[in-house]
Amino acid sequence: MFFRKYKIVIFIAVVFFAVLIAIIYNLKVSRDNSFIRKMVMETASPVYGVFSGSLQGIQDAWSRYVLLVGIQEENKKLKNKVNELKANIVSYRESYYEAQRLKKLLAITDHYPYRFTGARVIGREQAALSRTVLINKGSSDGLREGMPVIAYPGLIGRLIDVSWHASRVLLLIDENSNVDAIVQRNRTQGIISGAGSQGMILKYISKTQDVQKGDVVISSGMGGVFPKGWLIGQVIDVDRKAAGLFLKITVAPFVDLSKLEDVLVLSSDEQTLK
């Protein structure tokens, strides 16, 4: 639209500059020092200067554009490289953390004469009354219901549902979970029951017993499900004023059950547990 509207003006300007350039060229070649030549030089000089300046400006602008495009392309490549390096760092860091977790689990297998099956947590259920996780091993791996499950540094629960390639673990904090336990310091025996978000409760401990905050609670081995001596949790509160004959003892699990990723299933035969 612009060229159509001003095509006559543009045509005249082009012709003018063409004639002007021709005249200037002839003046450079000619040796004539006449008055007309001087007048043409005086008239053409400002126009020629503007024309030359415009050409130089266009050349400089183009150079800057080419340089800017190159810099932008280089920045894009550098950003892509930085993002790639960041992704590698995240991957290496995740591999390192995984190696540390597995190292701790392998340390457990080295200290206990049982056969373990490693598994990964692939699902989690945290309903009002239920605390379970799903692992990626099942009966095809030799697992069966009732087998104890551990994660560094102690017990986390037992298998309750086992399919061919997946199993469900009932966590110690589930309200349906009960484990025979002992206070390690004074060998007082009781039952660890799940209390959901409150952790666990150590039940049936007489008020005459000396149980203190900070005491360690371990499995007693009674009932034939859990081996004796596995870490369960630590006493965080002892209420001696509770109604009834027994203390109200709150226990926190040693394992952070909200961060489970890798576990071990104690898959030895029951008669080998000592």
The confidence score (pLDDT) of residue 9 equals: 61
Burial class (CB within 10 angstroms; exposed 0-12, middle 13-18, buried 19+) of 215: buried
> Please, which residues have CB within 8 angstroms of residue 159's CB and are 6 or more apart in sequence?
143, 144, 145, 146, 147, 149, 167, 168, 169, 170, 265
Distance CA 136, CA 147 (A): 15
> Which pairing describes strands 262-266 and 148-151: parallel, antiparallel, or unpaired?
antiparallel
Using DSSP's 3-state secondary structure scheme, residue 245 falls into coil
| Cβ atoms of residues 119 and 198 within 8 Å | no
| Cβ atoms of residues 179 and 189 within 8 Å | no
Q: Name the helix (H) or strand (E) containing 71.
A: helix 35-111
Using DSSP's 3-state secondary structure scheme, residue 238 falls into strand
Which pTM was predicted?
Answer: 0.65
The confidence score (pLDDT) of residue 267 equals: 82
The confidence score (pLDDT) of residue 88 equals: 79
Domains by residue range for the chain, with CATH: 1-111 (no CATH), 116-272 (2.40.10.340)
The confidence score (pLDDT) of residue 274 equals: 34
Q: Output b/e per residue, 70-98; b: 16+ Cβ within 10 A.
A: eeeeeeeeeeeeeeeeeeeeeeeeeeeee
Q: What is the pLDDT along the chain (274 residues), one digit of tens a residue?
A: 555 555 666 666 665 666 566 566 555 555 555 555 555 555 556 555 555 555 566 667 777 777 777 787 788 888 888 888 777 787 777 677 767 776 777 777 777 778 899 999 999 887 765 789 999 999 999 999 999 999 988 999 999 999 999 999 999 999 999 999 999 999 999 999 999 888 999 999 999 999 999 999 999 998 788 989 999 999 999 998 888 889 999 999 999 998 899 999 998 654 333 3
